[in-house]
Structure formats: structure tokens, C-alpha cells
Structure 1
Amino acid sequence: MKKYLGILLILTIFNSCQTAAKKENNLQEKYRPSYHFSPKKGWMNDPNGMVYLDGTYHLFFQHNPDTTVWGPMHWGHATSTDLIHWEEHPIALFPDSLGTIFSGSAVIDKDNTAGFGKGALVAIFTHHNPKIEEAKTGLHQYQSIAYSLDKGKSWTKYVGNPVLPNPGIWDFRDPKVMWHAGSGQWVMTLATKQSITFYGSKNLKEWTRLSEFGNEVGAHGGVWECPDLLRFETPEGDKWVLLVSINPGGPNTGSATQYFVGDFDGTTFRSDQKDIRWMDYGPDNYAGVTFSNTENRQILMGWMSNWAYANTVPASSWRSGMTIPRTLSLQKVSERWLLVSTPITDELGAWDTQEKGGVQVKNGTDDWSKYIGEANGAFELSFALDKVATFDLVLSNGKGDELVLGFDEATNQFFVDRSKAGDANFSPTFIKRTVAPRILDAETLTYRLLVDRNSVEIFADGGLSNLSSLFFVEQPFDLLMFRSSTTVNVRDLRVKVIK
């Protein structure tokens, strides 16, 4: 009998420990996104080295595995076949005697130009030397390379690093490399203080300065970072887009990404653009770059946070996630070529799509909660209005949290108000209400939002006006109200729920 009671006591304690562990795990995971990538543990910021190889997308990322705040940078590594379901792998690149591993890119060296092997995967990254002596001289950042012969499973750093020494520039980082067929060379797009400098190389090891862009154009409220040079085919011929992240100085304060439309001849990027154009007006889409080796398709992912408060957002064992991958394209609006972003969810079989058709809302509120009740806070919703009108979408839950988003016709702005969406007081720099101008002058308005357990991404007017925002609720949103002070006709209402 005593033996039986002893076993029963042990089982009771074991079950109690399991329950406590499960509760603790749920507490730690309460802000974990459902379909956006986030690291298993530790800190994450910029996406790095993104490349498509043999049916697999490789995402490397700025990573501090030992704590949930920014620190000694490594390259974390994850892969996916559909850009939604990710498998995290062991760390790819560790700090060494040359410094920590800052942002960069990866290419497939199909013709063995570097001599590491035909089809080698080559990473080009910034070494950041934290030693005080180097920092005082401004020579603490320089570019290095590493290569993989087993599709990214293991990496060897080049013995001749750094391949591009610092010429005396304090901010000298974030190389994005591409092959430019017209000039028969690798082209590196590099952030250099508040400009972008282009370098060329035949072998990824020896680099020559080509040109510089940006000193007198664009936004200059902060340092320029994480550039990317993209080619688009248009009816008017090839157009080139230069992405430049800036911190601070964004349209809603803090971090953001601007872009320039122009031409590139293999040596010089030129643009006649006089206005400042933002890829995403939301506060939580930064350092976004595209995957290489995707032929003519440009697929971008960004870091879903903002340097104004990134180190202080609620977290437990991990901190930060990525945006939904987006396909980029160009659209001509009023004689301006503008960048368009659309989420890749259209092509994924992981979504259960429900067609809801049309709804007429007469001077009041329509309850759409039934459409998202089973989504557990992770869904996509889209619709169109036959006529532009002010409207609110109010997401809420049983705890009284509210996220309000919509369009204000008086100011011609889309907006997100997260002031009551859970914890919004962890930092005085956390931006409570953000806005984006309506760029398209059309009578019909289209609206698309992706909601995850801690974020919303809005793609309005087909992806011309975008807003990406974090929020921190402990209980998923399961209530949704559509409000308008006028009668509006809602058509093409669709809901997609992640399976």
C-alpha cells in the first residue's frame, strides 16, 4: 500500500510539474506569431543572406542566441519550401577574431568565379570589430565572405578576409550582392553613412569602387542601412529600384524603408525622383531585402520591429519576428513609377479561403466576428468598397483589448490605432497611432489585412499604401466590427484562415 501511495505521489508531482511547465510555456509563447517566422529563442533583427536554392528558401538573420536583447551578432538560419512553414537550423556564422557578423547577403556562384566550387553558396557580410581602438578610427566595419558546398549546412570563412577593407567610413556595412549580366560582374550595393556606394568584382574577392548615390536626395533623418538594388521589367523597358532602410527618420518616426526608382548601367545608379517614397508607412517593417536566385521575381522579407523600442517590446525567451514575405512590383500612377507590395498568401495551399460576397452597411456597425471566430487570432481579410468612405475595423477580445484600423476620408489617410491593443506602455517611444496617405486617386478602394497573434499588415489599394504594426495582447482577437457613419457597399469580402 505504501509503495502504491508512493507511486501515486510521484505521478501527482510529475503531472503537476507538467501542468506548471505547460503554463509557463504558454506564458512565454503568448506573443508568438502563428505564421510569421520568429526564432526559437534569443534576439533577432535584420534578415540576411536570403537565397532560393533547389526548391528551398534560405533565411539567415541577425541573431543573438544568448539573450533577448541586441548583442554579439551571429547569423541564424532557417529554411522553408513555402515561405510560411519554417525549420530553424544551427547557427550558420559565429563571431571570430575579425569581429561579430553583421548584415549581408548570399549568392549562388554558378560559374565558380570565386574558385570555391561550381554552384557554391557564397555569403557576403559585414565584420564588425567591437574593439575600442578600431572604433575610434572608424575602421571597425569591413566586408568578408564565407562559402558553403553543402547547401548552407556548413560554412567556411575565406582565409583572405576582409575582402573589402574600410576606407575610413564610420558606417560601412550591409552588402547586398547581385550578378549584373550586362557588365559581366558582381555588383555590391553597400550602405556608407548617408549614401549608397556601389562596388564591382569579377570573383567576389577583389572589389573596385564604381559610384555613389544619395547624398542630396531622399530622407536623411538617420543613418542609411540595408540597401537592395532590384530590376523590374516594365512596358517602358527595365526599371531599377534602390531600397534604403533609414534609422531614425521614418514617416511615423523611428525606422522605415525608402526607395528610389531609376536606371542602373552596371556602374552608376541614376534617378530623377525628387519626392520621398516609402515602401511601408508602418513602424514595424525594417531592413527588408529580397531573396536572390528567384529569376525575375522579387520577394522581400523585413524585420518586424523598430529600433525606437525593439529592445523593450514584451518578450520572454525570444524577441522579434519577420514580416510576411511580399512580392514586389512596379505600377505607374500619375506618371510616377511606384513600388507595390502584395503578400505571398495567394499562392499558398496552407490557407482555408472563405468567400463571403457582398455586405451593405447602413450608417452604423456590422458584426463580422463570425468570420474570424475560429481563427485563433491568425487570419487574412480582404474587401473592396464601391465608393471611398470613412470606415473603422475594430478588432477586440474578451479582455477589452482593441485594435482600430481603417480609413479617414477627411485626411485621405489609412491608419492603425494600437493604443488600446494590449501592452502599449512598455516604452515612451512606442508609436500608438500610425498613418499612411492614400496614393491612388480612384473611386473604388480595396483593403487587405493580415492579422497574426501580435501583428497586423495592411495592403491597401492593391499594395500601394501599406502599414505594418505590432501589438501585444495576451488573448487573441476574436471579435471584429465594421463601422461607418455612412452607408457603404462592401464587396468581394474574403477571409483566409491558416490551417
Structure 2
Amino acid sequence: MTMTGTVPRSAGWRRLSRRCLPAAFALLFPLGAPHAADTPQWRPVLHFSPAAYWMNDPNGPILLDGVYHLFYQYAPGSMTWGHPSWGHATSTDLLHWTEHGVAIAATPGEEIFSGSLVPDPLNRSGLGSTDAPPLLAFHTSVFHDNPAHPDGTQAQSVSVSHDGGFTWRPYAHNPVLTLHPDSRQFRDPSVFWYQDGGCWIMTTVVGDAQLVKLYRSTDLLHWSFLSDFQPSGYRKPGMLWEMPTLVPLKLDGNPRATRWVMIVSVNPWSIAGGSGVQYFVGRFDGVTFTPDALPPPGSDPSRYDWLDHGADQYATTLFANTGSGAPVLIGWMDNWDYATDLPTAPWRGQMTLPVDIALKTVDGHPTVIQTPTRAYEDMVRKKGVVTYGDRNLPQDGRVTIPSRGEVLDIRLVLRRGGARRAGIVVRETPDGRTGTSVSYDFVDGTLTVDRGRSGLVGFSPRFSTRHIAYLAAPGGEVALHLVVDRASVELFANDGVLRMTDLIFPPAGSDRISLFAEGGGATIHGLRVAVLAR
């Protein structure tokens, strides 16, 4: 259970509903039972994590009647991935979550992979009524010991809810979409209503072919093929594409300049190594998505657009049914390079902070902007912000900030004096030997998150320690917004132009903040710190 503030953990766990938890798992693995290797020091405060067991991709996030529903890949009874079901949690503000256990359960013959949710208010599917319209979950079924499909076949299925997403039953004629011949890599349906075409559009992937397939339907049950999206360029043997999401955004807020953004998760070979999230900006005519100018084939990954330049964001997807508000994204805060080795217990896996997204022109290039949601900003203001104003940093010196806490919101602007490099260290121990560094190199124009001394780093040889991204510094300054939780640092630079998300596992007592400059002096402008939890 993930809670904001100082609610006791036991109180949060009592809010857990086992409405959908299989009885066998509830008896064998009671969610509130003590665990020999429990790690409460890394239990996130701002980010959703399940009370226990393995979690990965967010599935079918949606807003219904003022309540956000988050479903996710879940393995009850296991600390590693395998034979997933859908878990379920709800929130009214995207910060405080109530977990409801298993929503759509796997069976011996069917695994429930990722997907999306769609309201059917006019009952076009015929699976409800106009008075009681159904809610449909589209998910990938992975079949085993099924005479109709070779073992391991992946196809798209539908489950139906008549109580707002709390209980589900499978559609009698699943699957509703399969490839011919059957495929073991056809998955992750993302469905949305396309107003201009008067139909629903589904994006799916053939993962090992790095291929997005688009379909249309007018009843959500019968699907017609539209087109494939497979740009030449950054593709490698062994790379998988997953979780495709297509979203329209107004470029620079202009409704007459709408662009479509195709978001695709990539594993491995991402910008920071291992798994990550790429996006393409282009146009969609109801049949084909056509990206704008792409780098030449074979270009380095840095020539492409990435939602995150840190190591720990994957399977990012949109909340559905948010109306005219800003689209909201959420992802899995992890990396397949070391996900099964994470040192947390009795849970393994957490979500990223939900963010609002927009599309703005940056240096002549349409760029996805990501900023924390209004509910998060309201929470920070209510907690209280300490303003430190401007600080001069001496050459090769370090300044400690009085604010102390494990969960922090920090904002500052780095201004170059004579310094080559300047930055901030968070979750620092009193002796300064442990901490996570965020710095900007004014000569190279690069932003770096260094978690090499962040705490526990040796649990996996593939836990990369330094992540670097190019970032312009207009007027010789860079604005940084850090969201620091008990086991993570999320960085939003230059008002959301660039994002970096990294897991950390710091030791007890690492609650200090310091500032530094190297190769000359620098100035910190507008430093503000909110302590969200100590």
C-alpha cells in the first residue's frame, strides 16, 4: 500500500480489499503477514506499489466518476514475474491509493498480459445496456493447452465489468483479434475513440518485429486491419517493442496544429541501457500514422526522442477518459535489466509519478513536455515550501541546505559563473560519502544523474550508475525540479523538456541535501524545498 504523509503502514494495509483475490493466495500468502526481509525504508510514499509481491506494467488506467483506476501486471504469491493477472488500485488524486487485489485473474490455460480499458456508454458492443453501459478491458491472452491455438499464442481478448471495474467476466467469444498464422509476440492492445472516424482505434505490437499494427472497430468486438507502423532506423536484433499508445496533442496549444504522438516501449537497447520509452511525433489520418522527419537509418539512439533519459521508466501508458484535461501518463518505474533482482520486500515494483503531458516546440522540434499533475503540486504547497533564494557556490565548494527529509520536492535554477559543472546531491549521509548527484556540465551541455554512491548498488551487475542527456542551457542556466522518494529520484529539467527517472536504495540516515560547483563558482537561484516525509 502506498500512502502520502504519515499514515501508519498498518492503517494503509487495512484499507486493502481482497474482493478479487483468489482464496488460495489469500490463505497461503496473507498480504499483511510479516516478511523476514521486509524493507520499509524503501517503501515509496508518492508512488503506487502493491502491498506485496511482483508488479510490472500499468494496464488500463482510467478515470471513472472522479476516481482513478489503475490496473497492472501482477503475480500474487510470487516475487518474480510469471503467469500474470491484473491487479487493481483506486485513487481520487493519483497520490493516495487503495489496493483491491486481483481484478482479472490468470488461469492455468491463460495468462493475462497488458492492455487498456474503454467505456462503452452507448452499448455499441451489446455487452450491457444503454441504462447500464459496460466497461470493457482489452488485454492480451497467452494461451496454454488450448486446442484452438498453439501453446504460447498471444491474441487480444475482452473482459467485461458491470460494476465500474471491480469485478470482471471474460467475453464468451474470446479472442476478438488474433494473427494468422498465430503469433507468440502479438500483444498490448491500446484502444481509444477516434472522433473524426466515428470508430475505435486499436494499436498493438508484434514485439520481436518492432512493428505496431493498427485496427478499427465500430462495436469493439470485430476489428479490421488498417496499417502497420515500422519506421526504418533504430532497430536491432533482439529488441522488443511493447505497449504502443497513440495520442493527439495540440502543438504549442494550437488546436489547428494537432500532432499525433506514438509512444512505444523498447527493450533492450534504450537510451540509458536496458528498457525505456521512445516516442514519434507525426500525423494520423484515420488509417496510417506517418512520423515526421526521422534520423537516418542506423543513427545513434540519442538522435531519437525518448520520454525518459533515466534507466527506470517503462511500459508508459495514458489514463483513459480524462476528458478535456491534460493527458496523464504513468509508467512502471523499473528496468528489465535488473527488475527481478530489486532488493525490496515483501513487494517488488512501483509506478512512476503520474504526469501531465503537452507538445511544445523546443529548438524547432516538437517535444513532449512532462510535468507533475496539479494534485501533486497542490499537495506540495499544502506541505509547506521553504524558500532559500539565491546561493553563491564557491569554486570546488559544497554548501549544505538545512532542510532534511527522505521524501522531498526540490526546485532550483543553476546559473553558470565560472564553473564547468554544478549541481545538487540528495539523500546524502552526514559524512557525505553516500548520495545521489544531479549535475549540469556547462561546457559539454549535458545533464547527469549519478547514482554510483546512492546506497545499495551491487544487487545486480546490470544496475547502471550514470545517466547522461544533452540539454540546452538558454541564457546559461538550467531549471531543475526533483521529486525524491524513499527509493527514487525523478528529475524534470527546464519545465519538463527532459525527464530522468532512477531508482535508488539509500541507507538509513541519508536525509541531507548539498549543492556544489566545480572548476569555478556558480549561482543557485530560487532554491525551494518541500519536505514531504522525513
Q: Secondary structure at the match of 1:182?
A: helix
My pick for the range that moved more, 349-358 or 99-108, is: 349-358
Output the CA distance in 2 between the equivalents of 1:50 and 1:315. Answer: 25
Match of residue 305, structure 1, among 304, 317, 334: 334
Cα drift, residue 474 of structure 1 = 3.2
Number of residue-to-residue matches in the alignment = 475
Whichever residue aligns with residue 39 of structure 1, its letter is P
Cα drift, residue 219 of structure 1 = 4.6
2:462 equivalent to 1:433: no
Of all paired residues, the percent bearing the same amino acid is 34
Cα drift, residue 80 of structure 1 = 0.6
Q: Secondary structure at the match of 1:448?
A: strand
Q: How is 1:244-263 mapped onto 2 (pairs within 5 angstroms)?
A: 244-263=264-283
Match of residue 309, structure 2, among 278, 281, 286: 281
Whichever residue aligns with residue 392 of structure 1, its letter is G
Output the CA distance in 2 between the equivalents of 1:440 and 1:145. Answer: 48
Q: How is 1:436-475 mapped onto 2 (pairs within 5 angstroms)?
A: 436-439=469-472, 441-475=474-508
Q: How is 1:295-374 mapped onto 2 (pairs within 5 angstroms)?
A: 295-296=323-324, 297-344=326-373, 345-348=376-379, 351-371=383-403, 373=404
Q: Partner residue of 2:72?
A: 61
Q: Partner residue of 1:191?
A: 205
Q: How is 1:4-15 mapped onto 2 (pairs within 5 angstroms)?
A: none
Contact in 2 for aligned 1:139/1:166 (Cα 8 Å): no
My pick for the range that moved more, 122-131 or 356-365, is: 356-365
Q: Partner residue of 2:41?
A: 30
Distance 1:68 1:175, change over 3 A: same
Distance 1:26 1:312, change over 3 A: closer
Cα drift, residue 398 of structure 1 = 4.4
Output the CA distance in 1 between the equivalents of 2:166 and 2:399. Answer: 50
Distance 1:384 1:244, change over 3 A: same
Output the CA distance in 1 between the equivalents of 2:231 and 2:180. Answer: 18
Q: How is 1:41-440 mapped onto 2 (pairs within 5 angstroms)?
A: 41-96=52-107, 98-117=109-128, 118=130, 119-130=133-144, 140-168=153-181, 169-193=183-207, 194-220=210-236, 222-234=239-251, 235=254, 237-275=257-295, 276-296=304-324, 297-344=326-373, 345-348=376-379, 351-371=383-403, 373=404, 375=405, 377-387=406-416, 390-395=421-426, 396-398=428-430, 400-439=433-472
Output the CA distance in 2 between the equivalents of 1:97 and 1:314. Answer: 29
My pick for the range that moved more, 379-388 or 345-354, is: 345-354
Cα drift, residue 22 of structure 1 = 11
My pick for the range that moved more, 459-468 or 161-170, is: 161-170
Output the CA distance in 1 between the equivalents of 2:109 and 2:246. Answer: 27
Output the CA distance in 2 between the equivalents of 1:22 and 1:163. Answer: 40
TM-score by length of 2: 0.84
Whichever residue aligns with residue 435 of structure 2, its letter is E
Contact in 2 for aligned 1:98/1:127 (Cα 8 Å): no
Whichever residue aligns with residue 68 of structure 1, its letter is M
Structure 2 spans left out of the alignment, 5+ residues: 1-31, 296-303
Contact in 2 for aligned 1:303/1:321 (Cα 8 Å): yes
My pick for the range that moved more, 431-440 or 62-71, is: 431-440
Q: Partner residue of 2:522?
A: 488
Cα drift, residue 130 of structure 1 = 4.5
Cα drift, residue 273 of structure 1 = 2.8
**Coordinate RMSD, CA, aligned:** 2.3
Distance 1:113 1:350, change over 3 A: farther
Deviations 1:38-86 (A, max 9, x none): 0000000000010001111100000001111101101000011111111
Output the CA distance in 1 between the equivalents of 2:391 and 2:160. Answer: 55
Output the CA distance in 2 between the equivalents of 1:75 and 1:325. Answer: 19
Output the CA distance in 2 between the equivalents of 1:90 and 1:402. Answer: 35
Q: Secondary structure at the match of 1:419?
A: coil
Whichever residue aligns with residue 532 of structure 2, its letter is I
Contact in 1 for aligned 2:63/2:69 (Cα 8 Å): yes
Cα drift, residue 437 of structure 1 = 1.5
TM-score by length of 1: 0.90
Structure 1 spans left out of the alignment, 5+ residues: 1-20
